[in-house]
Amino acid sequence: MRAFPRFTRRQMTALAVAAAALAAGPALAQEVIKIGYSGPLSGGAAQYGKNVLDGMQMAVAEINAGNPEVGGKKVRFEVVPLDDKYNPSETAINAQRLVQQHKAAAILVPHSGGIFALQTSNERNNFIVLAYSSVPQITERGNKLTLRIPPEFTSYIAPFSRYVMGRYGKKVAMIGADHDYGKAWAAAFKPGWEKLGGTVVAENPMSYNRATDFYSGVSKALAEKPDVLFVGGASEPTALVVKQARELGFKGGFVVMDQAKLDEMARVVGGYGLLEGAIGVMPVSEDTKPENKAFIERFGKMYPGRIPGSEALWNYTAVHATFRAMQLAGSASDTKAIHAKLDAAYKALPPEVNPGGVQGVDQRGGTVTTERGAAVRNGKVEPIQTGQ
């Protein structure tokens, strides 16, 4: 029998290094495509920011599992997440780092203040803003390297208002969040409410991202005897506002702006009971479409014990669409070409990765989607048609 050669420890180490280098060869040959994320990962909106990031990471895992190629080259996708604490100035700093250090061709931001901050420089610095915010001004500015991911919130105002007026009355107190997104919603909601014959009896925006005790602000609004409360920020603090309003004796309805999700709020307050008469966007967990149910199942496998919300769903699809646009453009760095292919990319996505049913991207860079609203009646969620 032939004896195996004997190696010194130094030779064994050298062989191990060489073997590792050979094993790593194919991986090292892959181009790494980085998508940036700047959002709240600490503070009162941390869960909101994490929900967005989870959807992105799920899409990246699926893309990488398919041995992806862009422009004939093997690639690997990666999300680089940075915490901006919901502070637009931090978003701008993060964007510089993501572009200069990580060469990110696209940066996803889930709040309007940060999005607006990046739109001042993204065309000059050659990166796409993936904007997870329904503020109409995001696409009205004419920025040529922006994608607005969710539908505009203005489509909700009239149907939401009619619903609660019909059930509770026409006097509303506005106690939404005081961040830029909340201000934009309030600025559109007030004239919309008044156009339908309603009256605004109080306006007292509160700091949802930095507080958990809202009793003082809610009590001040309730002193004006409203029939309805306009509320909304991230889901957790919004749920606390509703809970504290009920504890102070409020019996009316709630208009919930689309950042907060009814199912997530219900988990905070122990069910839909305290949310009776609330109207907001249709929760992902309550949507019965087959592709939506399949998405929930896959999400649960990746994140055991958790149920996805709109933040996970819309941004999951947006990352898939961005990758597909890169494939269609034949480049992971030509941002103009990538942006130009986003409409075709969304249209090419199979239903299983587009459970929200995005139909394409309009000329301003906003997704075209028919979104549904939902209201809580007798402890259950019922769909409310909002239109386009």
pLDDT in tens, 86-101: 999 999 999 999 999 9
| pLDDT more than 90, % of the chain | 82
pLDDT at residue 29 in the model? 58
Return the half-sphere exposure (C-beta side, CA atoms, 13 A cut-off) of residue 372: 16
- Say how far apart CA 325 and CA 341 lie, in whole Å: 5
What is the C-alpha separation between 327 and 72, in angstroms, rounded? Answer: 9
Give the pLDDT confidence of 217-233 residue by residue, as tens digits: 999 999 999 999 999 99
- pLDDT of 14 above 90: no
The mean pLDDT value for 299-314 works out to: 94
What is the C-alpha separation between 119 and 123, in angstroms, rounded?
7
**pLDDT digit string, tens, across residues 103-161:** 999 999 999 999 999 999 999 999 999 999 989 999 999 999 999 999 889 989 999 99
State the pLDDT at residue 44: 80
pLDDT value, residue 363? 95
pLDDT for 372 equals 80
Q: How far is it, in rounded angstroms, from Cα 127 to Cα 95? A: 9
Neighbours of 40 (CB within 10 A): 25
For the cut 90, the answer to whether the pLDDT of residue 247 exceeds it is yes
Q: What is the pTM of this model?
A: 0.79
Going from the N-terminus, what domains does the chain have, and what CATH number goes with each? 29-152+289-371 (3.40.50.2300), 154-286+373-385 (3.40.50.2300)
Which strands, in side-by-side order, build the sheet including 69-70?
69-70, 73-83, 31-39, 106-109, 128-131, 146-148
For the stretch 32-62, pLDDT in tens is 999 999 999 998 889 899 999 999 999 999 9
pLDDT band at 162 (very low <50, low <70, confident <90, very high): very high
What is d(CA 213, CA 232) in angstroms, rounded to the nearest whole number? 15
pLDDT reported for residue 3: 41
